[in-house]
Amino acid sequence: METLALFNNCLALIIVFNVNCTIPKRYFNIWVMREYGVEDSWTKQLVVGPLKGIQKPVGFVKNEELIILRDDEDQTIALYNIGSQEIKNFQHSGLPNSFRSRHARLYVESLVSLNGGRA
């Protein structure tokens, strides 16, 4: 499973690896493209894990925290701090209790037209 994200203002590819054991654990390899469009500029930035109870990564917040979906019934959103290696539940006072991660969408600012160039 792969996810594209923005890390330190560079295009990043997060690759998920499963570790088969009695308690499923996952590793995330984070690769960064240092020079956009140059294939040889991909660099393995870091490895996260092993983490248990995690379904998949979604993206980054402030380059220090990885947004992840927990592997629970509601796929709750959590934040993984790269420096401290701690996972905490995502809390936001503006979200209703009925909010589920399937309602979430990533937003990336862009000048690309959603209409494919048609007005």
pLDDT over 90 percentage in the chain: 22
Using the structure block, give the residue that is written with the tokens 């998920």: 16
Q: What angle do CA 46, 27, 58 make, to 5 degrees?
A: 80
Does 33 or 99 have the greater pLDDT score? 33
The pLDDT of residue 59 = 85
Q: pTM score, two decimals? A: 0.72
Q: Highest mean pLDDT range out of 11-15, 49-53, 103-107?
A: 11-15
pLDDT tier at 53, thresholds 50, 70, 90: confident
Q: Are 82 and 54 in contact (CB under 8 A)?
A: no
Using the structure block, give the residue that is written with the tokens 């980054």: 60
Token digits for 112? 């690309």
The pLDDT of residue 26 = 86
- Mean pLDDT, residues 72-97: 79
Does 38 or 1 have the greater pLDDT score? 38
